[in-house]
Structure 1
């Protein structure tokens, strides 16, 4: 099995693991910390995560430029590029430290109206620890990106899975002994540093990475920034999409409401992770196709192939959650959010609906990165992310967490409509053919599965056993219908080959 297939498979293992463990851990963490402290933990993480955009897209630049040097067999250029990147990261870490100090002494101004003095004290401690973590681990992301550029996905993803398992066990252990959110932040910091060390060791010993400054070239620095600046803008957009709501809600409502919003967003981000598990390993491939002057139709073929596989998975999750998600959320966190579990459900549903088309078109974004044509999409996303956050702030004052998410996703919908015209007319992706072949067989099969799933919904009963029964019956119906009627020969062969490989234990 190739590194790409193994990488995608490991992504799915990681996603299934993080989803299952996350679904178990989240209500446990909430019950141990309480709604308010859990809201603080999430809010501080979102705030510091906002500073991580100062990476300005260098991590993506490492993948793109290293893949380019590799395709051109320019080892000296690769060495010089990596050395230049580390000089840039040194400056970034210094800027993060300064920005963190400034924000630290101004946290009172942001939250003194909605937080108690004890909540502010905990907020400051967690913020300081996470800033230290970010300044150290951000430059270390180069090693993970280098592995991706060489299409070596197995080791770093195995490290990521191992890190998650150890982190989960530590979280359970320290919370059972009465630790709080500050201890969780310390665990996250130690685990982040350990991942950097592991990836660095692999790059130096197995991939024979060389970091040597042959010459400090202004033209190279300009090329890096001219490419990465638009990744930087996308990073800002991503933070606005997922973290702005938590930060904004903290200024207009209590930490408990932030917790409600964050739980709904967490379910929505799990949804997106299933698609990016496939698309995330294709940037090096897209770069190679661009270097070799692949036609628009060839790129469209790849986008359709990836998009259809993504949609098969996404429809399963979307339909299942739409039908049985409210019962699941009630069983999952209903004891903690007795009066608001329905709110969490609808936040997640709205995210899933709005996010489906962007997710199945992720290869289009990889194509933009490979061609260094992210400017238009970056500016468009930034404008509407800001407008969406502002609209969400307005709605949140009357409708709380639901208002915030409605404002946020309104920007996504507008952007995606515009981007499809851009893909078709500028990037020469055949979007009309993409949607036709994307829906071919999958859409009618999914509608049949939806109808059967709706009937299954009426099985009487309550509790986890009833929920699992419905989920299992729907899974059997969906997989059977999709495999028989919704897939094309290539997809059937792909599933059969993957199953046979796993069965023979050759993975």
Structure 2
């Protein structure tokens, strides 16, 4: 099996482990840290994640240039590029430390709703995470080198081992009374071990050499010209997922930060399930764009990929509408309380609803990339993510975490509607046909499942057994109805072939 196929399989394993272990670990960590310290833990992590933008998109740039020089068999060019990049990372790590030191001096005045004890915890966590980031950014370039060499198996396997061992270590430490500071120390230790292991693989196994042959300002400019739009999309992601932590960290208590943070985590899991399905088809779709496929051909592929995502997303979304409140209450209700659980459910639900259209139209981004038209989307997203954050900050003063997410997702919704006009009028996609094809047969099934789910939710009971009974009943109902009445032949064949492959391996 090729490195590419093995890498894809390991990617799905990573997604599965991240989601499942994450769901299991969240209530465990929350229970041992408490609402206040957990809120500090995730908020400081989000703030330090903001400083990671100083990477300027270099990590992805490493992959591209390493692959380019390797394909051209330009050993000197590769050595010089890597040496230049490491010098840049040295400067970036220094900037990370400087920015960290500056912000450290404002922690007391920024987090106005924290007690003195909570501020001390925040400061220690901040210092450790800044150190983590300063070594982690250049360390990430080593993984980029592996990907540029198409040596996917080692870094992805290492990441899985790290995730599992880190989770087991966290359980052990918390069980023996450890707190948030202990968790970030554990993260730092694993970070150092992974960087050291990856460095050994890169330099000893791949035989990569780093040597500065010539330091050229023009070459540095060329590197950053490629990474600029990657950096802009990193800014977009920052406003989309982390801006709420900045705002609420200023005006809300750590308990509110916990509710918001867990809602964000649940909402982000939603997209992972869709991406795991649709990403299989994206390389083929990108090839169509490169060979100048017609707008109608691209629309047909967009419908095919979008329907697969839509079927998965509607299964999750409808289930979360009817059974999500019960799940959140059982999952973290003991720590958050009834009102906190409700707000967490509502935040996650709002994200899922707003995130659905961008996910089912994920193929559109591949088309933009292939046609080199990402700039419009990047600027549009950045503008409205910023406006959404400002609106969220205004609403958060009156409505807390719910107000913050309401403002944020308003930006998402506006952007995606504008993008549909852009796809139709500039890119040449037939958007009316896309929606007609997307909803063909599936919308009737979804509405029927919504009706039936109302009655499934009336099954008396409140514990985990009751939740599982509802979940199994709902899954069987959705599965049977969507297969026989909601799927087209391609989707049925894909479903049957997937199960046949699994069964053949078992037998």
Partner SS, residue 335 of structure 2: coil
User: Residues 160 and 443 of structure 1: is their aligned pair in 2 closer, same or farther, counting only changes over 3 Å?
Assistant: farther
Question: 1:422: Cα distance to partner?
Answer: 2.1
**Equivalent in the alignment of 1:48:** 48
Question: 1:24: Cα distance to partner?
Answer: 2.0
Q: How big is each residue's C-alpha offset from its partner over 1:439-485, in whole Å with a ceiling of 9 and x where there is no partner?
A: 33333333333333232111111100000111111112222222333
User: Residues 317 and 103 of structure 1: is their aligned pair in 2 closer, same or farther, counting only changes over 3 Å?
Assistant: same
Structure 1: how far apart are the matches of 2:95 and 2:436? 48
**Equivalent in the alignment of 1:388:** 388
Structure 1: how far apart are the matches of 2:108 and 2:79? 45
Question: 1:248: Cα distance to partner?
Answer: 1.0
Describe how 1:76-475 pairs up with structure 2 within 5 A. 80-111=80-111, 113-149=112-148, 153-204=152-203, 209=208, 211=210, 213=212, 215-278=214-277, 296-297=295-296, 299-338=298-337, 339-475=339-475
Structure 2: how far apart are the matches of 1:486 and 1:204? 52
Question: 1:391: Cα distance to partner?
Answer: 0.9
Question: 1:141: Cα distance to partner?
Answer: 2.0
Mean Cα displacement is larger for which, 303-312 or 177-186?
A: 303-312
Q: How big is each residue's C-alpha offset from its partner over 1:363-382, in whole Å with a ceiling of 9 and x where there is no partner?
A: 32234344443222222112
User: Residues 215 and 486 of structure 1: is their aligned pair in 2 closer, same or farther, counting only changes over 3 Å?
Assistant: farther
The answer for unaligned runs of 5 or more in structure 2 is none
Structure 2: how far apart are the matches of 1:66 and 1:297? 35
**Equivalent in the alignment of 2:493:** 493
Q: TM-score, normalised by structure 1?
A: 0.90
Structure 2: how far apart are the matches of 1:66 and 1:298? 33
User: Residues 460 and 413 of structure 1: is their aligned pair in 2 closer, same or farther, counting only changes over 3 Å?
Assistant: same
Question: 1:29: Cα distance to partner?
Answer: 1.1
**Equivalent in the alignment of 1:21:** 21
Question: 1:200: Cα distance to partner?
Answer: 4.2
Partner SS, residue 460 of structure 1: coil
The alignment covers a number of residue pairs equal to 506
Structure 1: how far apart are the matches of 2:189 and 2:242? 23
User: Residues 238 and 482 of structure 1: is their aligned pair in 2 closer, same or farther, counting only changes over 3 Å?
Assistant: same
Structure 2: how far apart are the matches of 1:85 and 1:36? 40
User: Residues 154 and 340 of structure 1: is their aligned pair in 2 closer, same or farther, counting only changes over 3 Å?
Assistant: same
Question: 1:120: Cα distance to partner?
Answer: 1.1
Query: CA RMSD, aligned part only?
Result: 2.9
Mean Cα displacement is larger for which, 61-70 or 187-196?
A: 61-70
**Equivalent in the alignment of 1:476:** 476
Question: 1:53: Cα distance to partner?
Answer: 1.3
User: Residues 292 and 126 of structure 1: is their aligned pair in 2 closer, same or farther, counting only changes over 3 Å?
Assistant: same
Residues 240 and 389 of structure 1 are in contact (CA less than 8 Å); yes or no, is this contact kept in structure 2?
Answer: yes
Question: 1:350: Cα distance to partner?
Answer: 0.3
User: Residues 189 and 166 of structure 1: is their aligned pair in 2 closer, same or farther, counting only changes over 3 Å?
Assistant: same
Q: TM-score, normalised by structure 2?
A: 0.90
Structure 2: how far apart are the matches of 1:58 and 1:296? 33
Question: 1:34: Cα distance to partner?
Answer: 1.1
**Equivalent in the alignment of 1:58:** 58
Partner SS, residue 461 of structure 1: coil
User: Residues 162 and 394 of structure 1: is their aligned pair in 2 closer, same or farther, counting only changes over 3 Å?
Assistant: same
Residues 307 and 360 of structure 1 are in contact (CA less than 8 Å); yes or no, is this contact kept in structure 2?
Answer: yes
Partner SS, residue 452 of structure 1: helix
Structure 2: how far apart are the matches of 1:458 and 1:159? 45
Partner SS, residue 336 of structure 2: coil
Partner SS, residue 334 of structure 2: coil
Partner SS, residue 461 of structure 2: coil
Partner SS, residue 226 of structure 1: helix
User: Residues 483 and 440 of structure 1: is their aligned pair in 2 closer, same or farther, counting only changes over 3 Å?
Assistant: same
Residues 285 and 301 of structure 2 are in contact (CA less than 8 Å); yes or no, is this contact kept in structure 1?
Answer: no
Mean Cα displacement is larger for which, 446-455 or 459-468?
A: 446-455
Question: 1:124: Cα distance to partner?
Answer: 0.9
Partner SS, residue 114 of structure 2: coil
Question: 1:119: Cα distance to partner?
Answer: 1.1
User: Residues 131 and 366 of structure 1: is their aligned pair in 2 closer, same or farther, counting only changes over 3 Å?
Assistant: farther
Question: 1:202: Cα distance to partner?
Answer: 4.5
Mean Cα displacement is larger for which, 206-215 or 332-341?
A: 206-215
